[in-house]
Structure 1
Amino acid sequence: MGGLREVAAPFVVPGPTGVAIRSSLKGLTGQDEKVLRLVGGLLGSLASRDLKARCAAGLDHNSDQWARRKRALTGRSSSRWAGSVTKATHDQWALARRGQLTHIQNLQAGIEMIGCRLSLPVGSKGSKGSPGGYRSRQEWFAKSRRLHLLEERLEREQAAREAGRVRVVRGGRKLLRNRHNLQAAQLTEAQWRERWEAERWFLQADGEAGKGCGNETIRVTPDGEVSIRLPAPLAALANRPHGRYVLACRIRFRYRGEQWADRIAANRAVAYRIHYDVGRSRWYLTCSWQIPPVKAVPLEAARAGGLVGVDMNAGHLAAWRLDAHGNPVGEPKTFGYDLSGSAPHRDAQLRHALIRLLHWAQRHGVAIAIEDLDFQAEKTREKHGRRKRFRKLISGMPVSRLRSRLVSMAAELGITVVAVDPAYTSRWGAQHWRRPLTTKTRRTTRHDAAAVAIGRRALGCPIRRRTAPPPQHRSDAVGHRSVQAGPGVLGREETRPRIPGPRTRSVRAGRGAKAGDQGVPPSGSWGSAHNRSEHTAEHESWHQDSLPLSP
């Protein structure tokens, strides 16, 4: 194992801690839409000002400043709206800080890789796992200039992080950049303006335990009535007492509706968010709440009945079921999906592939083993150089979304998910399992073999198969023996104990050279040799237990 990195132990992935469901607001009147737009625009402007104040405070922010910001917003809206705005501001600032740290780590990885390749002679070949020198002097010169550029960026980002400065765009940086190139985005200025304003609206309220229906700001009753507590400047638009506005439509949650109804009946906290989809011209209401963490199943219990090894690829999921010994059972399965088109289409394709995989695993009553993938450090062009197709391939794989969706969907079906280290699974799977599992009627792909390797690692079995020793060096004298004792087994170097019975399976019980119950032949000296004292009587045939394909 020299030169190979240490492989982390498999673990059971914890379940989700939150739930979110969505439904459309159908049947809104013109007055309803007008009120929603006014409330969203007013609270959006307050959220922008609060975010600006929070970013200006930087690392010097404390609870006193938070209280002052909340008091300033309370006079222009309400105490509950002010609490939701300030909490959303803190979450957005923390997310920007995490993204800033990730960007710094990517810059450091790129600088290290370029420095390593610049130190090598031009045209030198790389070793395993690391690229060699650059191909020409021109490329070496261009990369040296890029190294200085990345170092300047790193110095600037580190200084900003130490000072607590972050860059946040309410509405999204991508949409902001589209304003400067509307023709490429296929948008007019009016269409872009409508999307920009809709993304900057703020219509979300945190839940409150013990309050009516779990939320005092945006309330949804069991019969589907939606009402909003209007901010103080818009209180004149209320159509109910206490500054509330009730929408004309009724809402119904088709998915998890019973769970939502149980929560609001007990006045447990439920958060709501109202948003407008410009492309479809529809209003939506998203409901979310926290759930207690699901008690994880022990790893040994997940391994008891075998599991399904899953290898994720750019266009499909390759899966193969393994028994508790690590042997492939049945035929491999492929669950394809298409990652082209819009984001909703890609998301639907991914969910369709996952639900088919989960239903297949549920029919067999087994767990699912996946790789704990993270391509954040693998997408840089400094590492893969001119391999643009490979960089595009790994950049297009929705690793984090697939993992989160698989865990949440598996928790609903009661299926355990085991994560394993992805090191060498594809390489060792193709090397040790692709050829043995290929038959005349089945063509095993490298992805199927990788799924077997993933499943065996989750079961605690070694991926690499030991080849049988030459016939002359087997203690069974040209017999079948592909399973060898491990290095920690006592007596592994001693001779194997003698098993009574015939030495070949073709000889039945009571026959052969040492059958002690044959009786004395009528004549001949050889019959007495069968009844000598050093020969034991054998009445049962020798039987060898079935063995797995590999240790």
Structure 2
Amino acid sequence: MGGLREVAAPFVVPGPSGVAVRDRLKHLTAEDEKVLRLVGDHLGALASRDLKARCAAGLDHDTDRWAERKRALTEESSSRWAGSITKATHDQWALARRGQHAHIQSLEAGVRTLAHRLSLPVEEKGSKRAPGGYRSKREWFAKTRRLHVLADRLEVTRADREAGVVHVVRGGKRLLNTRHHLDAAQLTEQQWHTRWQAGRRFLQADGESGKRFGNETIRVTPDGEVSLKLPAPLAHLANAPHSRYVLATRVAFAHRGEQWRDRITHNRAVAYRIHEDVLRGRWYLTASWTIPPVKTVPLATARTSGLIGVDTNADHLAAWRLDPHGNPIGEPLRFGYDLTGTAAHRDAQVRHALIRLLHWAKRHGLAIAIEDLDFQAEKTREKHGRRKKFRRLISGMPVSRLRARLVSMTAELGIPMVAVDPAYTSKWGAQHWQKPLTTSKCKTTRHAAAAVAIGRRALGHPIRRRTAPPPHDRSDRVGHRTVQAEPGASGREGSRPRIPGPRTRSVRAGCGANAGDQDAQHRSGRPAEHEFWQQDSLPLSL
């Protein structure tokens, strides 16, 4: 047990801090689309220039440089557009810094693994906790070159981080690299250029509390009218007073529409973003706002009625209901999803599986226990070597997407969610629960057993079913054999049930005079052992 890592304590996951809803901008005229593209291209050019200035400043950036950047942008747009652009630039730079830190950690893990395996003799066998040597001298030589490559990358990335240098591509690095592989992507140069332009446009504005309808830059009225403030160079395109352009469309948010309407009616801040889906030829409007933190219930309250343990897999969710003492109830359920196809299809599959899971939990008034998974350090080929199938398996798990969806959906339904440490849940679940829960009619899978282990850890119980038997004898002086019963559970301590007959082989048990009196029986730890004892004298008549 000394080699096992410490398992973190379970905790109740806090709710989301913001809300985003989307609606399609239908029935736009050709003039509307032209104006949106012109405004987006103009503001996108300003955003690219501002991002370049922010990256050049690096760690020396301060409020004075921020004010200088904003003044330069205001001259070519407006004060509010300039504020939205600079804020988006700061967020993008901070995101790049976090990604850079994660990349350094991944490189460090790869260098450590390679150095360890190269230090071992060829064909040295590994253990469960540490990999062995490489299979051949050829592979060993190739890995020495790989080690030098990763070490050089690590040195360069560390130097960039210390200097405050980040590398950001507006529009996306993946789409930029697609330009060199148009045949493989089945795109023409014009189609790629259209996507590239759409990805680099900037049409988003932050909300302002106290202003009319919560946003002066992109304004949406309660009846769905959408208008935007045109930048100064494009003010001649306005079709409404005060350099505004009103779109020939109406929006009505089907999801959370009442919440959105309540906010803009009371002039509370709402941020908007307009973007074009080039593949479908559609335009969308996304509204977002912050919400106060949802007060989570205490962990003891979430455990009151038991919960549902959920094991996340590449193609399904395995779930099993547990009572407060950690005992599985009923049969396990499986909620499958298909993660092939487009991103929209994958997202819909995950949502459908979560909806069925949450409806089950809501129907029984139970909390949900799930692993706090993070596979960022587990996907490297240095750690898993030739196990490409396993690497694809863990890479295909929708961890971040499922976690974000589940947090928001549980908060909306008022279902507590408990996160547990994922260490050893699959291994110990299969070891202690898979075989005992398997019957002739139902074969328990490894994933269902892992769901039981997750639920027991969330409830605060050990994963194994029973403690070791008493080491001295069959009495209970060293503790109770089972870990399911709490100290105050009814019937945990007490006399045995009265069964007619004495405890002998010839006569049925339970018929003796002291069958229900434990103190009268000479058992270890009972008062009869500690009473004063004196032998009576023999009668003189004998």
Residues 55-94 of structure 1: matches in 2 within 5 Å? 55-94=55-94
Structure 1 residue 485: deviation in Å? 10
Superposed CA deviations along residues 80-102 of structure 1, whole A, max 9, x for unmatched, are 00000000011111111111111
Structure 1 residue 513: deviation in Å? 3.3
Correspondence for 1:125: 125
Correspondence for 1:524: none
- In structure 2, the CA distance between the partners of 1:9 and 1:472, relative to structure 1 (3 Å rule), is closer
Query: How many residue pairs align between the two structures?
Result: 506
Superposed CA deviations along residues 65-115 of structure 1, whole A, max 9, x for unmatched, are 100110000010000000000000111111111111111110000000000
C-alpha distance in 1 between matches for 2:405 and 2:220: 27
Asked if structure 2 preserves the Cα contact closer than 8 Å seen for 1:502 and 1:514, the reply is no
Residue 181 of structure 1 pairs with residue 181 of structure 2:
yes
Instruction: Give the SS at the match of 1:407.
Output: helix
Asked if structure 2 preserves the Cα contact closer than 8 Å seen for 1:106 and 1:377, the reply is yes
C-alpha distance in 2 between matches for 1:57 and 1:505: 91
Structure 1 residue 145: deviation in Å? 1.1
Structure 1 residue 473: deviation in Å? 4.6
C-alpha distance in 1 between matches for 2:36 and 2:436: 64
Instruction: Give the SS at the match of 1:423.
Output: coil
Correspondence for 2:313: 313
Residues 150-169 of structure 1: matches in 2 within 5 Å? 150-169=150-169
C-alpha distance in 1 between matches for 2:354 and 2:166: 37
Correspondence for 1:201: 201
- In structure 2, the CA distance between the partners of 1:504 and 1:170, relative to structure 1 (3 Å rule), is farther
C-alpha distance in 1 between matches for 2:401 and 2:325: 31
- In structure 2, the CA distance between the partners of 1:370 and 1:506, relative to structure 1 (3 Å rule), is farther
C-alpha distance in 1 between matches for 2:434 and 2:345: 33
C-alpha distance in 2 between matches for 1:219 and 1:332: 50
Correspondence for 1:529: none
Structure 1 residue 497: deviation in Å? 7.8
C-alpha distance in 1 between matches for 2:355 and 2:90: 35
Correspondence for 1:96: 96
Correspondence for 1:222: 222
Residues 494-533 of structure 1: matches in 2 within 5 Å? 499=496, 501-502=498-499, 512-515=510-513
Structure 1 residue 514: deviation in Å? 1.9
Instruction: Give the SS at the match of 2:434.
Output: coil
| Higher mean C-alpha displacement, 392-401 vs 450-459 | 392-401
Asked if structure 1 preserves the Cα contact closer than 8 Å seen for 2:308 and 2:455, the reply is yes
- In structure 2, the CA distance between the partners of 1:460 and 1:249, relative to structure 1 (3 Å rule), is same
Instruction: Give the SS at the match of 1:249.
Output: strand
Residue 268 of structure 1 pairs with residue 243 of structure 2:
no
C-alpha distance in 1 between matches for 2:501 and 2:273: 75
- In structure 2, the CA distance between the partners of 1:153 and 1:511, relative to structure 1 (3 Å rule), is closer
Asked if structure 1 preserves the Cα contact closer than 8 Å seen for 2:320 and 2:448, the reply is yes
- In structure 2, the CA distance between the partners of 1:287 and 1:497, relative to structure 1 (3 Å rule), is closer
Residues 393-542 of structure 1: matches in 2 within 5 Å? 393-466=393-466, 469=469, 473-475=473-475, 482-483=481-482, 499=496, 501-502=498-499, 512-515=510-513
Residue 110 of structure 1 pairs with residue 105 of structure 2:
no
- In structure 2, the CA distance between the partners of 1:229 and 1:506, relative to structure 1 (3 Å rule), is farther
- In structure 2, the CA distance between the partners of 1:408 and 1:500, relative to structure 1 (3 Å rule), is closer
RMSD between superposed Cα atoms in Å: 2.4
Amino acid at match of 1:150: L
Structure 1 residue 472: deviation in Å? 11
C-alpha distance in 2 between matches for 1:456 and 1:485: 10
Structure 1 residue 3: deviation in Å? 1.7
C-alpha distance in 1 between matches for 2:210 and 2:115: 59
Superposed CA deviations along residues 196-231 of structure 1, whole A, max 9, x for unmatched, are 000000000000000000000000000000000000
Amino acid at match of 1:157: T
Residues 257-336 of structure 1: matches in 2 within 5 Å? 257-336=257-336
Instruction: Give the SS at the match of 1:433.
Output: helix
Asked if structure 1 preserves the Cα contact closer than 8 Å seen for 2:501 and 2:512, the reply is no
Correspondence for 1:493: none
Structure 1 residue 127: deviation in Å? 1.4
- In structure 2, the CA distance between the partners of 1:443 and 1:81, relative to structure 1 (3 Å rule), is same
Structure 1 residue 470: deviation in Å? 9.6
C-alpha distance in 1 between matches for 2:372 and 2:502: 46
C-alpha distance in 2 between matches for 1:222 and 1:216: 14
Amino acid at match of 1:177: N
C-alpha distance in 2 between matches for 1:109 and 1:504: 69
C-alpha distance in 2 between matches for 1:459 and 1:485: 11
- In structure 2, the CA distance between the partners of 1:213 and 1:439, relative to structure 1 (3 Å rule), is same
C-alpha distance in 1 between matches for 2:193 and 2:3: 57
Correspondence for 1:252: 252
C-alpha distance in 2 between matches for 1:472 and 1:295: 49
C-alpha distance in 2 between matches for 1:516 and 1:102: 70
User: Normalized against structure 1, the TM-score is what?
Assistant: 0.88
- In structure 2, the CA distance between the partners of 1:343 and 1:514, relative to structure 1 (3 Å rule), is same
Structure 1 residue 122: deviation in Å? 0.9
Amino acid at match of 2:482: V
C-alpha distance in 2 between matches for 1:265 and 1:504: 81
Amino acid at match of 2:333: K
Structure 1 residue 247: deviation in Å? 0.5
Structure 1: give runs of 5+ residues left out of the alignment.
Answer: 490-495, 518-533, 536-551
Amino acid at match of 1:396: G
Structure 1 residue 424: deviation in Å? 0.7
- In structure 2, the CA distance between the partners of 1:203 and 1:504, relative to structure 1 (3 Å rule), is farther
Correspondence for 1:134: 134
C-alpha distance in 2 between matches for 1:312 and 1:331: 18
Amino acid at match of 2:219: R
C-alpha distance in 2 between matches for 1:23 and 1:431: 49
Structure 1 residue 502: deviation in Å? 3.8
Amino acid at match of 1:94: A
Superposed CA deviations along residues 289-313 of structure 1, whole A, max 9, x for unmatched, are 0000000100000000000000000
Asked if structure 2 preserves the Cα contact closer than 8 Å seen for 1:235 and 1:243, the reply is yes
Identity of aligned residues (%): 73
Amino acid at match of 1:310: V
Superposed CA deviations along residues 144-171 of structure 1, whole A, max 9, x for unmatched, are 1111111111111111111111110000
Structure 1 residue 499: deviation in Å? 4.7
Structure 2: give runs of 5+ residues left out of the alignment.
Answer: 488-492, 522-542
Asked if structure 2 preserves the Cα contact closer than 8 Å seen for 1:379 and 1:391, the reply is yes
Structure 1 residue 483: deviation in Å? 1.9
Instruction: Give the SS at the match of 1:450.
Output: helix
Structure 1 residue 467: deviation in Å? 6.4
